[in-house]
Structures are given as C-alpha cells and as structure tokens.
Structure 1
Amino acid sequence: MDSTRPSRLPAATYQLSIKDVFNRLSDREQLYAHHLSRAAWHGARIILRQTSSEGIGIFDFILELHKACNGQWSIFTERFGVTNDELNLFLGYAGMFMSKMNNFCGEGDRKIVPAVSADSLRKMASISPAATAALQDVIQPMLSPTPTALTLSESAYYLGDAKITLGEIAAVARVMQLNGLEPENTRIEKSVENSRTVYKVLQASVQSNADLQNHMRGSAIPIDILQQGGEDSQLDGEVRLVRGDHSAEMSKIREHLLQAVRYTANEKQALFILDYLESFTTGGLEAYRRSMKNWVQDMYPRVESILGFVEPYRDPYGVRCEWRGVISIADPQETAKLTTLVKDSTKFIQTLPWAVPGNNDGKGPFEKTEFRAPDFSVVHALAFVCSNVWEASNVPNYNDIRETYGFKNIVYANRMSANADPNRPLHWISPSELQGFRKVYHILRFITTSIHELLGHGTGKLLAETSPGVFNFDSETVPINTLTGKPIQSWYKPGQTWTSVFEKLAGTVEECRAMLISYYLAESKDMLRMYGYDDNTDITANERLRALQAFNEEDQSWGSPHSNADFVILKHLLHDANGLLSVDCDVNSGTLQVRVDRSKIAEEGKASLGRMLHRIHIWRCTADVVACKQFYESLSAVQGIEAVWRKIVASKPEPAWKFVQANTILTDDGKVQLKVYEESDAGIIQSFADRDL
C-alpha cells in the first residue's frame, strides 16, 4: 500500500452494548461468563506477539502513560507542553491500537501510524522513567510508515535473522505432516547453528519441552527433533519442535478455564472446557479437535464461547492461526427469527448451480448427504478478543468435524448494529443512490451475513480418499463434474486438506464462495420473505471498490482474504454480467462511482454470480487447484485502470472502526459486576488498564 501520511479522519468508536443481556444471566452463568472472558482476554498479548515485533512494546508504552497520569490525560497539555491537537491525535492512535490489539488493522493489514511527532511522544514519555524506557524501545517502528502492510518478510509468524522462503515453509509443513503435527498454533523460527540451518516449530502451550520430557524418561529419540536433515530434498536442515510459545499467557488462560469448568451448565460444556485445558497445556491439537466435537453439540447455550487458534487470515502461507477469544450471551428472541432459514436450508441448497435433480435428495454429488442444520444463534459479544470485531462466525474450521458433527453460526447483534451508522463515509456510491443505500445497508448486511455463514460456509463436500483405498464417494462410478459433464478427474488424497492443497488461496476462495452464495440466494423471493421483505424492498448492491484499500502495490498481494474476494467478484461482474455494473472514474477530481443497471440485476447479475460460484465450488470440492488458481489469480490482479482506481481509493482511506468493550469484575462477595466504559479513546484505554493483562 502507499506510504502516505496517517489519515486524520476521525474514526468512530462504538460501544459493544451488553449490560441488559448480561444482567439477565443467573449468578452461576455470570461466573461462567466472567472466567471465560478473563481466559479470552489473556490471549491479547498472544495476538500482539503474533502480529509485529513492536506490538507488545507499544501496548506497554500506552499503559505506562495511562498509569503515570492515572487516566487524567489532560495532564500532558497542562504540564508537559503537549497541545490539545497532539494529545487527541495520540489518543486516537492509542484507542485504535488497543481496539485492534496491534498496529496493523485486522482487515487489510494496513499499518496504523500515529500522526504525532517524535518530539511530542518524548514529551509525553517524560512523565515517568518507565514510560521513557518503553518509548525508547518502540519509537522507530511505531512512527515508521513502512512496512505499510504485513508480508512474509515482516510476519511475526516467521521469525529469525535468516529470512525464510515460501518453499522452506512448505518443506517444513511436509515434515510436520509426517510427524502428525498440525500448524494452527505454531510459528517458525529459522536460524543457523554451527553452520547448520535449524527450523524451530514454536508451539503454543503451557508446557515446555523439558516439562514433557520429564514424563517420557527412557525415550531413545529426543522428542523435539522432527527431522535431522536430508530426508526432504527441499529442506537441508534440522526441524525441531519447541513447545511453550506464549506459555505465560497460556498459563493464565488455563487458570481461568479451571475456574470456568466449575460453573458449566451441562456435560458437553464441561467436556469441551477440559479438552481446551489439555490442548492449551500440551499444545496438542488432537485434544482441541475433541473440544470442537463437544462444542458443536452444546446447542443454544446461554453463554457461548470460541477460544483457540482459529483463523489463518494473517499468515502469508495461510495455515497458522491468530488467537481468538470470543465470549457472548445468547438473545433467544432474535435467534428464533432465524429458525426458518435453518429449517429450510435443504430447499435452498437444491437451487444452487451444482444441484442435480434426483441425486442426493436433489442436492447433487458435491454436497453432503445430510445437511446438518447448525446451531444458528444471535448473540451479544461480552468479550471479543481478536484483531477485528467480526459481524459473525462460522466454526469450527475443521472440515471433517463439520461434516460429521456439524458447525455453529453465530451472529453478533451488538456488532451488527454499528452498520446502521448514518455518518459512515461512503465515497464510492453515486449521489443518486446514497440515500437509498444508507437506508438498507444494515438490512442487506444482516441478510447476506446470515446466509453467508449458514449456507455459504455450510455447504459443499470435499471429495476425498480419506485413507488408502477408502473414499467418501463411489470410486467405481465417480461423480459427474457438473461443469464439464464428464467424470471428475481429481480429489483430495490421504492426508490432504483444503488448506494444504490450496494454501494461501484457500482463505480468500472460501470467503468468495460464501459471499457468492449469499448474493445468489438473497435475490430469492422466498428468502426475502423469511426476513420480512417483499419484491418492492429497496435493496441495492454494496460498494466493492473499498476492497482496494487492502491491496499491497509493492508486492502485488492482498492483505485481506475478504477484500480480495470482494474485488474478484466486482471484477468478474464488470466483465461477465453484460453491463450490469460500471465504474465512473474521474482522475482529475479523484472520484469513483459504481453504477448499477437495476433492470439487469435479476437475470444478468444472478446468472453471472452463478457461473462464478459454480466454478469455484466444483474446483474446491475436487481439489482442482490448478484451474482455480488460474481463474482466481487473474481476477485478483490489479492492473491498468484498476491500478488507477486503487490509487484513488488509497487516497481516501476510511478509518477502521473502534470498539470499546465492558469488563467483568469478581467482587469480594463472590458475585460478578459488569463495568461499562464511555465511547471514547480514553474509555478504550481505561478498559485495557483495568484488565491487567
């Protein structure tokens, strides 16, 4: 992305309102929610460490300033020669940093740089020796506009003085696979020891290698050596497993899970908490897989939780996952509105482009025999510990568990409400469309998000040889490819997964597929009636040009799989939908506007979306990465007039939203008190200071 001055546009701060629904919990439920929330928040430093080398240092500097001034920020203007403008600019930066839990935005990985001078920061730091020392460690990377986005060379998932290549990462991945080691909770450190290259696989856990070795006395082979070299032609070096990454944070997470298990509501909750404990203690993901099997069977809990290393969006290789801790409280009345969508899921799946009448209940061979209707809940987030506060979640991400045990769709109502903000800047909408767009945007987001999570991520069957000679389809009469009309030629081989085959492409292609399904089905009259809208409802297309903010011109890469998918869909429609969309570009005035020919939405638009969706879905189901890569990467390219669009979009960056979240506090009488903070940067910082992380 462009190395430009930090945007001075004010970023909106929203309250994740939770008080009313929290107060309706019983004392036992509040204690359960409290300890889960504390466990979630203790993962904040893990996120900081996973993101950038300076993240924890900046976090500590902000908290040192808060401690020194006791939250009275006006002291800096009254006694330290800092102007009001400088103070407000710093607080805006600090609020954004704390809200995102790092100095790179979760969507797009754009760097957040304070629009204040080094001199102003040093004046503020002079308030205490601790603050001065903290600033000294981070001032250079904190103020530097580069790197503008996270790339492989800057990623904190890959450490060491010796730079690692994608080829080496792939080779280490093969060694890990041979040793039954999954990558989600790992990082890699490359070093040279005694003229020999060493790749350390750092695994998140409470226990270290020494802790585990004490339980394996007499083992002939050191437990940390995965490969001693020479076995992999692309990896001439030693691979070691080093347990105990993030051990301090994992220990605190374990402490609160040990308390939370005392207040579980049922056996399933107790089982998945105990499995969390085993996985987080040892680092083993087999226990985490077990936790997910029990978690998906805990249907419609009053207090919902997602803990662990969940999404690989920020890993340049696309397999290592960021910590996510989300604790929420169910809203039974809102959840009831979505039961019809869940009940009629199969009916809508039968209308998708790959459906085959008479085959698999009309769903065709590229869908599971039985669509497991998931737990589809509307909740309010109590603690959202992640680099981005998402509108919804669809988990677990393990496809074998999803197919066998099911999955959950969770929509966060107190996050979705921010979409109705009437003051949000909309640069790329035609003035004639602006009023109508504002009127329906939050409606559109709710409809498409719920379809996206339920049917977008919930559909599809990955055809696979699950073990040598064992297939999850009829291998003698293989399915007919609905794209070509011929028998399929490829499928997943034993040990292969969606992410291992499609690698970095996996995340964005899956998000694109889910988006396309939501847009394709949202036009259905039956679908709209479920949400209370009819043929005359004024729902318009969302602006997709904003996605270009996440494109890194330097290395021609996308910093966000969602934004990549957004742009791919826009580009496909521009070239394939017979004039449905057009983009007006005025280089002199720096304006862009998307225009939609509404007369073509129902036929041309839906048909074009269907063609794209059909291809991506079949390629995903049949492991045809070659065809998918050729198609998708050509649409991902930003060139010609698109590069001009990108420059205009980059010149008007929309500030990321900030969210202030409540805290739970355990009182002397054993009860839980909820503390709510003001919607301001100072409120965000105060909330983190009170968490004592």
Structure 2
Amino acid sequence: MKREEIDNVDEFLKIVNIDPLNTRIIKINDDHFQVLLASVNMNTQTHFHNKKRIDIVRGDFSPFLRRVTQNLQEALNYTANSYQEQMIKYYIEHFQSGDIEMHKNSQRSWIRDKGPIVETNIGFIESYLDPKQVRAEWEGFSAIVNKNESEKTHNFVKNAEKCLKMMPWPQEFEKDQFLKPDFTSLDVIQNGASMTFAGINIPNYDDIRQNEGFKNVYLKNCIHSRKKADQNFCLIDQEIMKTYGDQVVFHQVIYHELLGHGCGKLFYLKDEQTQSYNFDIENTVNPLNGQKITTFYKEQDTWMSVFQNLSNPYEECRADCVALYFSCFEESFSFLQPEFLSEWQNINKACFLDLISQGINGLQFYDVNEKKWGQAHINGRWVILQVLLEIGEDFLQIQKCLKEHDEEGIEIKLNKDLILTKGKEALSQFLLKMQVYKSTADYQSASKMFNKYSEVSEKFLQIRDIVIKNKKPRRVELQGHLSLDSNKKVVYTCFQESFEGIIESYMARYPYFDLEMYNLFMFYREYNRN
C-alpha cells in the first residue's frame, strides 16, 4: 500500500470524524479500500472519496472485544469508587461501538481516580508499531500500588512546578497551568502488549493532557538488573555505572515520564471563524528567530496527525533529553532522591554514560539498507548522542579499541568536568529547538533537524559491526497467571524463569482449544491472503 493511498483514506476519516487509532486499512485493489474498525457491533458503510471506494467495516476483532466487555461487566461489581465505575462503563461503550470519544471519556475518569490501590488501563494506546504512527496496538495492564516507592514519586510531583521553571524555553511555551498528575510506583501483575515499559505517561490524547491532566506510573518490577558489565565496551567507568545503576534508572524514568512527556504547550487555533487561539498570537515570540508565531495546530489537528511517523521518536527523544538535562541540576536530586544528594555528580556522570552506551548499543536496531531506525526510543537516544558528539572531542570521544584476547570493543571517553558546562548547555539549546518546533507545529524544521541527527556515519557503521557481533538474544518476558478457584478466590501462579516456564505460562492461560478464536484466526489469515 502506498503512502498516498493511506493518506487519502485518513483524509476521508478526518472528514467523517473517525479517529484512526483503533482502525486498520485493507487494500482490496487500487480503487477499493476497507477500514476495519475494532468494535463488538458489526456493520458496513460504503463511501467514495477522490474516486476511491472506502468501506467502513465495524466489528474488527468483535469476538475478542465481546469477551472483554463481558469481563468488564463483571468488574463493575468490584469498583472502589464512582470514577472507577464510570471508567469501566465508558470502556464497555467504547469497545461495543468503537467510538474513540467513549475511550477518551474513560481516560477522563481514570485520571480523576487518584491514588487507587489497584491500577489498570486498557485499550488501543500506543502507536509505535504503525509506520505512520497514528494507529495503535491493543494493550492493557493491571497492577498493585507500591506505597513506599510511591511516597517518593508523590513528593516529586509536589516539586514539579519548580522544575518546570528550569526548562530552557520561555514561559509562554509551557502549559497555562500545571495539572498535578497522580504518579505512583506499581508492581505489575499482568501486562498484555508487545513490550513492557519501565514507565508510562498516559492518556496520549492531546486535548486531555493539555487541559485536564494525565497520570504517570513507574513499573518498578519490570526493570531488569544492570549489575553486569556491558561486553561491548572497554573501560568506560563500568564501576560507576554498576554502582549507581538503580539511581540512574529511577531518575531517568521519573523525569522522562512526568516532566519529559508532561511538559510543554501546543499552540492551537481554537476557532477558525472567530480566529481565537490558546496563546497570545500578537505578542508571543519565537525565541529561535525573534519573530511572531506563524505556524500552529488547527482545530482538528493532533500532535500525531501533524508529525505522523516522526511523532514517537521525536517525543521519546525530547523526554529522554529532559531527563538527562535535569541530571545536571543538584536540586533535581533533592526533589527525587535526597538520600543520594551527596553523590549526585557521580549519578549525573552515570546518567550520561548510560545514555551514550544505550545510543551505541541501539545501532543493532538500525537498518543499513533502508537507513531507518526500528524503534522510537532508540532513535531518540541516538539523536541525543549526536548532539553530545557535536560539542567536540574535548567533551566526548567514541572509538574502537581492543579488549582482552584482542577482541574488538568500543571505547567511550567522557570529560566529566565539562558535563555541567558544555554538556548542559548543548542539551539546553537542543531542548529549546525541540519544544519550539513541537509547540508551533513546525514539522518541516523538526524533521530536517531530527533526520540529520538520525544519520549514521561510516565510522559508526563500523562500530555497529562490533555491536552486532556481541549482540545478545532479546529478553524474553515471563508473567505469572491469575485465576479463580472453585470458591471464586483469586489464585496467583508463578512459573520457573526458563523457556519451559514460558510454555507452561501459556498453557495455564489458554488451557483449552478455543474454536471461536481458531475460526477467527483462520478467517483473518484467509482475509489477509486475499
């Protein structure tokens, strides 16, 4: 399917006010396309747009979603308050009809449910896997709040406004009001998605995030240990990275989620007829050129619809850059990890080394033939690495070296004495550009800058060969299983951390042959073939 064909379908969806988030596009032939919309209810409507037939087919994954709504109906018996009850009812409406507005309402109820003991969210959420990054994958999680760890995150939220004043952009580019979110540390019980993140900042709906608020969650029991030395690298202060590994991860995740994803304002034309804006268009100045603001989001625009396939890597880069930037401030550690305040400069250096090493190791996800990055977070870290390299060799050097037994490795030389001067200033200037381009919907400038930094030089292609040679197998995820016994009590089953344990976990989760699901699988397989 060609990009222009997808754009034509999405243009039509915008006209008929259908959000693409929970849809798929099937190309029947050059003049006929089907939009499969996930819902329990099933019907088909035929339309024509730019001489192309477009069928809106409701009922994609209907058997799955029917079972989801049945279980959600049962969950209504266990809600702790009215917000949870409203949330579940909106979920049911959304999955039955496919209407994204109902899911947005569920998220409005969710962000108002402050400090629950059990935390959960479900739906079509993240769009990382979509080439255009406007269609989301299905996911859901359930977790129990870790009260002791959450005390730290709650204290950080109280001081977040002080951090916002330290951002490198003018006040006009920050939200009119900081809506203090609920920020909890969770022990995840179940997570159904293509991967488990260390932290989550949702909902992703721009209007809710900017005007009503959001939630942050830190998934502590999903973070793997970083105690072992990285085999790719020669001596790069491995000891400091191992010593402060836990503190680095905690700092990165918390600042990435709360301030990284939670900061900054989008400039909108709210009403075209009255020419009203959500910013002072006459007096707001672009700090990059000293001129008035000339680009902004239109009424129906969203961050993802304007920046499309750039939106996720750009946003993850911005959030990671915010976390690294705040590691350069002593105050940031007093807000989040005061018990390590005397060691903050060591943690600061470890933060830089960790991001640099992750940027280099991420080369394994770079497609040399397509010249593309395969993962948004990794693309973002590579871009930050290029910003740091731009400072000069007196700050950072990366080169090949020889390890034991004459094996090739990678050497990182970081001048820690320049981190709080040259390093901090480079991040400040880069963050300013990122925020201005995002606030003003300046896709052209953003893509030009980001794509330039995303390039991989011949030197780093050779370093990539070393990374590929030492590539480790991808982590395999194992989860426990919840079930109800004969007395309707919840039983948690744990499995051995092995491949056998993973097989057993799937057998426990799906113990019987499911004819309905098998028939659905065969239907979609044949459907996609045709």
Question: Normalising by structure 2, what TM-score?
Answer: 0.91
Tell me by how many angstroms 1:691 deviates: 1.1
- From 351, 354, 367, the equivalent of 2:174 is 367
The answer to whether 1:462 aligns with 2:277 is no
State how 1:399-438 maps to structure 2 within 5 Å: 399-416=206-223, 418-420=224-226, 422-423=227-228, 426-431=230-235, 433-438=237-242
Residue 481 in structure 1 maps to residue 286 in structure 2: yes
Q: CA deviation at 1:253?
A: 1.1
Partner residue of 1:583? 398
Residues 550-570 of structure 1, C-alpha deviations (whole Å, 9 max, x = no match) = 111121111101000010110
- Tell me the alpha carbon deviations over residues 355-410 of structure 1, each in whole angstroms, 9 at most, x when there is no partner: 3xxxxxxxx11111110111000010000111111111000000100122210000
Choose between structure 1 and 2 for higher RCO, CA contacts under 8 A separated by at least 6 residues.
Answer: 1
Say whether residues 1:228 and 2:48 are aligned partners: yes
* Shift of residue 589, structure 1, vs aligned partner: 4.3
- Cα deviation 1:527-573 (Å, max 9, x = unaligned): 11230222434221211201111111121111101000010110111
Among the aligned pairs, what percent are the same residue?
A: 30
Where 1:576 maps in the other structure, the secondary structure is coil
Name the structure 2 match of 1:175.
Answer: 12
Go from structure 1 to structure 2 and tell me whether the alpha carbon gap of 1:648 and 1:501 turns closer, same or farther (over 3 Å shift): same
1:96 — aligned with what? none
In structure 1, the residue matched to 2:74 is 259
Alpha carbons of 1:274 and 1:577: their partners in 2 closer, same or farther (altered >3 Å)? Answer: farther
1:382 and 2:219 aligned: no
- AA partner of residue 481 (structure 2): N
Distance 1:578 1:640 in 2: 18
Answer yes or no: is 1:472 the counterpart of 2:278: yes
Is the contact between residue 328 and residue 420 of structure 2 (CA under 8 Å) also seen in structure 1? Answer: yes
Q: Distance in 2 between matches of 1:610 and 1:304?
A: 35
The match for 1:522 among 306, 322, 327 is 327
Secondary structure in structure 2 of the residue aligned to 1:501: helix
Cα deviation per residue 1:577-633 (whole Å; 9 max; x = unaligned)? 563211012499432122211111111111111111110111000001111111100
**Runs of at least 5 residues in structure 2 that lack an aligned partner in the other structure:** 515-530
Instruction: Report what 1:354 is aligned to.
Output: 169
Q: Give 2:311's match in structure 1, choosing from 475, 489, 506.
A: 506
Tell me, in whole angstroms, the C-alpha distance in 2 between the residues paired with 1:517 and 1:478: 27
Contact 2:266 2:439 in 1 (8 A): yes
User: Structure 1: any 5+ residue segments left out of the alignment?
Assistant: 1-163, 210-222, 231-235, 356-363
Q: Which residue of 2 aligns with 1:497?
A: 302
Q: Which amino acid aligns with 1:463?
A: F
Counterparts of 1:455 and 1:578, CA distance in 2: 30
Moved more, 426-435 or 248-257: 426-435
- Cα distance change of structure 1 residues 432 and 585 upon mapping to structure 2, 3 Å threshold: closer
Aligned equivalents of 2:28 and 2:465: distance in 1?
39
Relative distance call for 1:685 and 1:350 in structure 2 (3 A) is same
**Is the Cα contact below 8 Å between 1:375 and 1:408 reproduced in 2?**
yes
Picking from 181, 184, 196, the partner of 2:21 is 184
Question: Does structure 2 conserve the Cα–Cα contact (< 8 Å) formed by 1:662 and 1:687?
Answer: yes
CA distance in 1, matches of 2:393, 2:10: 44
| 1:526 CA displacement | 1.1
The answer to whether the 8 Å contact 1:525/1:534 transfers is yes
User: CA contact under 8 A between 1:616 and 1:628: conserved in structure 2?
Assistant: yes
Partner of 2:522: none
- Once the two structures are TM-superposed, the CA of residue 478 in structure 1 deviates from its matched residue by 3.8
- C-alpha distance in structure 2 between counterparts of 1:258 and 1:672, whole Å: 18
Verify the 8 A CA contact 2:234 2:401 in the aligned structure 1: no
Matching residue of 1:319? 134
- Tell me if structure 2 keeps the 8 A contact 1:577–1:608: no
Residues 106-255 of structure 1: pairs in structure 2 closer than 5 A: 164-192=1-29, 197-209=31-43, 224-225=45-46, 227-230=47-50, 236-255=51-70
Residues in 2 aligned to 1:281 and 1:492: alpha-carbon distance in whole angstroms: 31
Q: Which amino acid aligns with 2:33?
A: Y
Instruction: Please give the alpha-carbon distance, in whole angstroms, between the structure 1 residues aligned to 2:394 and 2:441.
Output: 33
Which digits, 9 at most, give the CA deviation of each residue in 1:487-538, with x for residues without a partner? Answer: 1121111211111111100001101111111111122111112302224342
Question: Which structure has the larger Rg?
Answer: 1
Q: Tell me which residue corresponds to 1:341.
A: 156
